[in-house]
Homo-oligomer: A and B are copies of this chain.
Amino acid sequence: MSRLVMKFGGTSVADLERIRRVGRLVAAEVAAGHQVAVVVSAMSGKTNELVAWTDGAGAAAQGLEPSDDEYDVVVASGEQVTAGLLAMTLRNMGVPARSWMGWQIPIIADDAHGRARIDDVPSENLIEAMDKGQVAVIAGFQGVTRDGRIATLGRGGSDTSAVAIAAAVKAIRCDIYTDVDGVYTTDPRIESKARKLSKISYEEMLEMASLGAKVLQTRSVELAMAKNVPVRVLSSFVEPGEAPGQGTIVCDEEEIMEKRIVSGVAYSRDEAKITLYGLPDHPGVSSAIFGALADANVNVDMIVQSHARTADTANMEFTVGKRDAARAVEIVRAAQPKIGFEDVKVNEDVAKVSVIGVGMRSHTGVAKTMFGALAEKGVNIQVISTSEIKISVLIDAAYTELAVRALHAAYGLDQL
């Protein structure tokens, strides 16, 4: 008997009608002969309501540590509600089911409340129940610490719960139901010729996820890769009687027969570019800048340093998340006496566009195609960064759509 994990996000369980739709999808997999575990998020909007309350309860806080463990107690209640409701719904459809909270399985997590990591998922209880033919309806996003407190995994953590459960019960696959029907070669809202991928490798998905294609949480993909759990992304929004599509399977590179050089074009408008002018050209400068930013937990992405032709000084450009930009400027300004640069400027009108593909490892000319396609459209490249399976460029935000479409065509993704 094969075990299957299904995961439904907040929009898929937003109300009772949608929970019944989820119930039908689960019942269909049971009828197809699977032992099913279902991981659910809080009903859409519920988590925000709960978070707002915790903010209110914490409003009197002045210089006190945030009560993260109690935040978790409040917020984890959302998934508890969905799990109970789906278990009731399934039973009422004649499908044996019961709910499982994180502490009941248990999903053992560390005590980094609000962003805990899963340490261990002893699976005996779950497997025993599933072997009896009972659907396990599991509250996502939550675990229990070794001293018995509730810990949540952070936003999107239900994806991670689902993959961890799939690994623990040795499921054949973890199906992540969401509001899109798969992973596309690029954002279909920008390029109508975007194609749904039938398969994508873990590494490519990781780059996609971290670059703003918000289909799967990064940690869940990392975990799936580590545990070699095939993950399928597909839509829960199907009419009664209609089967969901095949979606996109995220799996090991080796299992993808049809190799592509580039699998997708991603973009992100969440970046801001910070430029430092007139840096003294001596060792230790970079370390002083990025050390100060790292100490303040500001994530720096792309970095480029250029030497002015006319002087002994250099310019430094780097990108940070837009929400960190003001703080990053403050930090470097505070370090100005020590570092000794002349001026700092922020540009928020930038976008990062990336081409991603495991084929880059073995193919040359990928960068050439990219730069050629952008040049042809008159798109100026401000910063470049690369990894083994990705090339990213920072451009003027106004050119985002143009650049995405040009690259999508240049790599033949329109004709997949």
**Chain A residues proximal to chain B, CB less than 8 Å:** 16, 19-20, 50, 53-54, 56-61, 64, 67, 69-74, 76-78, 80-81, 83-89, 91-94, 98-99, 101, 103-104, 148-150
The smallest beta-carbon distance between A292 and chain B, in angstroms, is: 31
The smallest beta-carbon distance between A124 and chain B, in angstroms, is: 13
Q: How many angstroms between the C-alpha atoms of A78 and B99 in the bound complex?
A: 17
For A69, list chain B residues within 8 Å (CB). 98
Known: A56-B16, A60-B20, A98-B70. A81 touches B87 (CB 8 A): no
Inter-subunit contact A84/B92 (CB<8 Å): no
Q: Taking chain A's interface residues, is the majority helix, strand, or loop, or is none over half, making it mixed?
A: helix
A57 contacts which of B50, B70, B92, B148 (Cβ < 8 Å)?
A: B92
The smallest beta-carbon distance between A47 and chain B, in angstroms, is: 12
A64 contacts which of B19, B70, B73, B91 (Cβ < 8 Å)?
A: B91
Inter-subunit contact A50/B81 (CB<8 Å): yes
For A77, list chain B residues within 8 Å (CB). 77-78, 80-81, 84
Inter-subunit contact A57/B98 (CB<8 Å): no
Given contacts A60-B92, A73-B101, 6 further A-B contacts (CB under 8 A): A57-B92, A60-B89, A67-B88, A70-B88, A70-B98, A77-B81
Residue among A78, A86, A91 with the highest chain B CB neighbour number at 10 A? A91
Known: A61-B92, A73-B80, A80-B80. A85 touches B54 (CB 8 A): yes
Q: List 22 A-B contacts (CB under 8 A).
A: A16-B53, A50-B81, A54-B85, A56-B85, A57-B85, A57-B88, A57-B89, A58-B88, A60-B93, A67-B87, A67-B88, A70-B87, A70-B91, A71-B84, A71-B88, A73-B81, A73-B87, A77-B77, A77-B81, A77-B84, A103-B103, A104-B148
Q: How many angstroms between the C-alpha atoms of A61 and B95 in the bound complex?
A: 12
A67 contacts which of B67, B83, B91, B94 (Cβ < 8 Å)?
A: B91
Known: A69-B98, A148-B104. A54 touches B84 (CB 8 A): yes
